[in-house]
């Protein structure tokens, strides 16, 4: 049943109606793809027209049971009109076509929102991913010809031309392209599963000849001297939840969300158990029929650490300097729910990065985002000979390849880890 277009609209589209529409689509495909002569094509088109008209009239009458036999209004100026839903057309046939499209044609825009709504309802993706999907719809696909096209009428060549426009002589990176293609694949898979289209052809479109932009080289970690300068500057400041949290992040492989969620009860001697993260999320509500998206204000959720919890829930070894930071955090925030708080509230990601940028500028070192603190510690440890297997464990990664994304040096044997951590990370 297609609802939500208007409060006054009560036209009922049954499952049987949808099956009839799908049958009509198959007839249309026969005309497009089968090798038929002109007489056969004319006969099938007449059949399609009659079946469409009957289907539309039956559905329209569910909202207008007392309508006269004519059903639609033939206006004095020669036009035809339907009411609730209201359409105008030059002929009765054109009006039937508009109503048919209204009841059954699914545009790419509408199907994309249905796909997002399905993922929200099924809880199959993080809210951050949902936000990225909606941003892609607004910033990428809304500018494309396919946006308002019936998804049934989109052909492989339409997508192929779109790929070529996106990439050109190297306009976007391969990663950006893969993200866009992945969204398309999800939408067309959803459309095929709901029988809007016969099959999803996105995976079959060749991309080997496309040219991609080389990723811009960005420093992934602070140099050793810059790390030391930043730590020295942070120590000189009046301490609060942010200065201390940034310092601790330079001593181990935390994600910022994990730092935010640390409680005193997570600390056992020189071991810190990472069992949670705090994330700021917004709930989205999608109305595919009205093509609207509403966003609730952001709120803080406590969740398991990012990734596979078998690996991401882990113990981290703290060197004495890190223990001193934690001791100071407890002194200035003895009654807080979380270790790092400021003005009675947990620290948040945006302010963390704003503070980090200011402190980098004041210390005279290049600014790198909060996530690069994690790269910094991993790279510092690897450069000093710590094994990749240990780094994988302390980073909370489920596979070695992800760890090697953080570090690039050769693997060496693991030694006395606690002594190594003290020697490597301590700053005189």
pLDDT digits over 12-38, tens only?
888 899 889 888 888 887 887 678 888
% of the chain at pLDDT higher than 90: 54
- Structure confidence by residue, pLDDT tens digits, 81-97: 998 888 899 999 999 99
Residue 3: the pLDDT is 40
User: What is the pLDDT at residue 289?
Assistant: 59
Helix axis angle for 371-383 and 417-425, nearest 10°, is 110
The per-residue pLDDT for range 200-209, each reduced to its tens digit, is 999 999 999 9
Element (H, E) at 47: helix 38-63
Is 300 in contact with 283 (CB distance < 8 Å)? no
State mean pLDDT over 120-146: 87
- Higher per-residue pLDDT: 217 or 29: 29
Q: What is the mean pLDDT of the chain?
A: 87
Look up residue 143 and give its DSSP letter: G
Other residues' Cβ atoms within 10 Å of the Cβ of residue 241: 25
Six-digit token string for 181: 């293609």
pLDDT digits (tens, 9 = 90+) for 378-389: 988 888 888 889
Q: Residue 418: which pLDDT band, with cuts at 50, 70 and 90?
A: low
| Least confident range of 110-119, 215-224, 274-283, 392-401 | 215-224
407 C-beta neighbours (distance < 10 Å), count: 22
* Model confidence at 417: pLDDT above 70: no
> Picking from 197-201, 203-207, 231-235, 272-276, which range would have the lowest pLDDT averaged per residue?
197-201
Does 276 score more than 60 pLDDT? yes
3 state DSSP class of 120: helix
Kindly provide the b/e burial profile for residues 62-99, where b requires at least 16 CB atoms within 10 angstroms of the residue's own CB. Answer: ebeeeeeeeebeeeeeeebebeebebebeeeeebbbbb
- Tell me how far apart the terminal alpha carbons of the chain are, to the nearest angstrom: 71
pLDDT band at 290; cut points 50, 70, 90 = low
Provide CB contacts within 8 A for 407, sequence distance 6+: 378, 379, 381, 382, 388, 391
Beta bridge partners of 402: none
- For strands 277-281 and 299-303, give the pairing: antiparallel
Two tokens, residue 299: 């709120």
Mean pLDDT lowest among 44-58, 124-138, 260-274, 304-318? 124-138
What is residue 283's predicted lDDT score, i.e. its pLDDT? 77
pLDDT band at 49 (very low <50, low <70, confident <90, very high): very high
pLDDT confidence bin for 7, thresholds 50/70/90? very low
Q: How far is CA 56 from the centre of its chain?
A: 38
Q: What 3-state DSSP class applies to 344?
A: coil
Which whole-number Å values give the CA distances from 54 to 17, 51, 273, in the listed order? 11, 5, 67
Under 8 Å between Cβ of 277 and 304: yes
Which is nearest to 81 in space by CA: 106, 105, 104, 64?
64
Given a cut of 60, whether residue 415 has pLDDT beyond it is no
pLDDT, mean of residues 121-134: 80
| Relative orientation angle of helices 388-395 and 371-383, to the nearest 10 degrees | 160
Which of the residue ranges 124-128, 333-337, 394-398 would you say has the lowest mean pLDDT?
Answer: 124-128
Q: Does the pLDDT value for residue 197 go beyond 90?
A: no
pLDDT value at position 410? Answer: 35
pLDDT band at 294; cut points 50, 70, 90: confident
pLDDT at 124 over 90: no
* Model confidence at 411: pLDDT above 60: no
| Per-residue confidence (pLDDT) for residue 6, from 0 to 100 | 40
Q: Which of the four pLDDT bands, split at 50, 70 and 90, describes residue 248? A: very high
């Amino acid at each position: 049943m297609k609802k939500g277009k208007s409060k006054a609209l009560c036209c009922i589209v049954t499952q049987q109606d949808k099956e009839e529409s799908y049958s009509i689509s198959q007839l249309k495909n026969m005309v497009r793809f089968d090798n038929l002569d002109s007489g056969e094509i004319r006969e099938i088109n007449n059949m399609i027209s009659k079946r469409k008209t009957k289907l539309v009239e039956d559905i329209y009458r569910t909202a207008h049971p007392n309508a006269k036999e004519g059903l639609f209004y033939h206006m004095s100026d020669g036009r035809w009109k339907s009411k609730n839903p209201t359409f105008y057309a030059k002929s009765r046939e054109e009006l039937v076509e508009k109503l048919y499209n209204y009841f059954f044609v699914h545009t790419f825009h509408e199907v994309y929102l249905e796909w997002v709504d399905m993922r929200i309802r099924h809880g199959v993706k993080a809210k951050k991913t949902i936000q990225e999907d909606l941003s892609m719809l607004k910033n990428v696909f809304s500018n494309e010809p396919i946006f308002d096209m019936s998804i049934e009428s989109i052909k492989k060549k339409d997508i192929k031309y779109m790929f070529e426009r996106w990439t050109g002589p190297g306009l976007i990176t391969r990663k950006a392209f893969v993200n866009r293609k992945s969204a398309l694949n999800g939408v067309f898979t959803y459309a095929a599963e709901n029988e809007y289209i016969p099959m999803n052809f996105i995976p079959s479109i060749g991309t080997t000849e496309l040219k991609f932009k080389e990723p811009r080289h960005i420093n992934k970690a602070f140099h050793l001297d810059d790390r030391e300068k930043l730590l020295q500057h942070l120590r000189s400041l009046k301490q609060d939840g942010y200065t201390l949290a940034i310092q601790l992040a330079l001593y181990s492989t935390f994600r910022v969300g994990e730092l935010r969620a640390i409680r005193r009860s997570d600390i056992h001697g020189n071991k810190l158990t990472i069992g949670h993260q705090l994330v700021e999320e917004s709930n989205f509500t999608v109305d595919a029929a009205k093509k609207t998206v509403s966003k609730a204000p952001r709120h803080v959720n406590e969740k398991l650490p990012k990734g596979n919890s078998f690996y991401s829930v882990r113990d981290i070894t703290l060197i004495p300097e890190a223990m001193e930071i934690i001791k100071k955090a407890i002194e200035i925030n003895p009654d807080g729910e979380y270790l790092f708080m400021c003005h009675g509230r947990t620290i948040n990601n945006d302010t963390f990065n704003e503070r980090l940028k200011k402190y980098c500028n004041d210390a005279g070192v290049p600014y790198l985002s909060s996530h690069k603190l994690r790269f910094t510690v991993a790279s510092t440890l690897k450069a000093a000979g710590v094994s990749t297997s240990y780094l994988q464990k302390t980073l909370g990664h489920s596979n070695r390849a992800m760890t090697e994304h953080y570090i690039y040096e050769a693997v060496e044997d693991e030694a006395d880890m606690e002594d190594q951590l003290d020697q490597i990370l301590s700053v005189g």
